[in-house]
Amino acid sequence: MPRSCPFAQVDVFSAVAYRGNPLAVILDGQGISDADMQQMARWTHLSETTFVLPATTEEADYRLRIFTPGGEVPFAGHPTLGSAHAWLESGGSPRDPELVVQQCTAGLIPIRREGGVLSFAAPPTTRTGPLEPDFLSRIVAAFGIDSSQVVAHQWVDNGPGWAVLRLATAQQVLALEPDLSAIPDAMVGAIGAYPQGSETEFEMRTFAPGVGVAEDPVCGSMNASVGQWLVRTGEVAGPFTVSQGTRLGRTGRISITPDDDGTVWVGGNTTTLFRGTALA
């Protein structure tokens, strides 16, 4: 027989309700089979649905499993912040009042709490370096741009398989009309800079046909690894803000804050918009 589980739907990375990236959080995932988790994620048809479970290590406050419509991923950014928010709001009590520790397939993810805003520590990338010429050519063709528009490119994979192209301007990023059928297995983003003095420093777009998501409204994991890349190469030297979701009518804002020790923190607003129960 199906049972009722506490459920929350959280808007992540926007201060304006219904303008960020929605996340479905099942706050008690115990006893739900892998197949049922995947079916629920397909049904919600959000970029991610998460399942909160008891931690299996004393270092973590809870364990999280993260599903896209196309499969499970080891780590994702907006599900990390949204799930931590929902867990705290439902009565979760972290060992450290200023730091939540999430256990997921990618390892232990620290999430700090500052002034009501959550930020996660970007996990290490599992793959870096420039894209292979053939793969780069396929992405350029799918994006419908000329190779001369690509300022830089990089593998920025922290679990989902991300690659990114850096274009010269935010407007070039916003103008993209990608043919994702040409790169059906790709997990790829594009980032471009706004003029100095703009509200945000960069515009990001993220395309994930490889897991059944055409365009992710606001993507924390992509911003995390791209932030690490930009900091590592000296393209940025201090905190900066990325806007994302503009083409989808969203107002995503992602704060990237590098620490002196090299840790890159990724933060943004989190707001519960729906709360209730789900059958599982």
Contact (CB, 8 A) for 25 and 66: no
* Matching CATH number, 4-122+267-279, of 3.40.50.720, 1.10.357.10, 3.10.310.10, 3.40.470.10: 3.10.310.10
**Chain-centre distance for alpha carbon 10:** 14
Strands 107-114 and 117-121: antiparallel
pLDDT score at 133:
98
CA distance 56 to 31: 15
pLDDT score at 101:
98
> How many CB atoms lie under 10 A from the CB of residue 56?
8
Q: Which residue is listed with tokens 């519960």?
A: 272
What angle in degrees, to the nearest 10, is found between the helix axes of 220-232 and 77-89?
Answer: 120
Please tell me what DSSP assigns to residue 157.
B
- CA of 44: how far to CAs of 63, 69, 211, 232, in Å? 21, 8, 14, 37
Catalytic residue numbers, as ranges: 48
pLDDT score at 1:
62
CA distance 151 to 192: 9
pLDDT score at 116:
85
CA atoms within 13 A on the CB side of 147: 6
Q: Which uninterrupted H or E stretch holds 8?
A: strand 4-12
Q: Which uninterrupted H or E stretch holds 184?
A: none
pLDDT score at 214:
95
Which stretches within 151-219 are classed as H helix?
Answer: 170-174
CA distance 70 to 72: 7
DSSP string of 49-102?
A: EEEEE--SSTT-SEEEEEEETTEEES--HHHHHHHHHHHHHTT---SBTTEEEE
Q: Do domains 4-122+267-279 and 133-262 have the same CATH topology?
A: yes
Strands 117-121 and 264-268: antiparallel
Indicate the domain borders of the chain: 4-122+267-279, 133-262
CA distance 77 to 168: 25
List the chain pLDDT tens, one digit each, 280 residues: 678 999 999 999 999 999 999 999 999 999 999 999 999 999 999 999 999 999 999 999 999 999 999 999 999 999 999 999 999 999 999 999 999 999 999 999 999 999 889 999 999 999 999 999 999 999 999 999 999 999 999 999 998 899 999 999 999 999 999 999 999 999 999 999 999 999 999 999 999 999 889 999 999 999 999 999 999 999 998 999 999 999 999 999 999 999 999 899 999 999 999 999 999 8
CATH fold of 133-262, please?
A: Diaminopimelate Epimerase; Chain A, domain 1 (3.10.310)
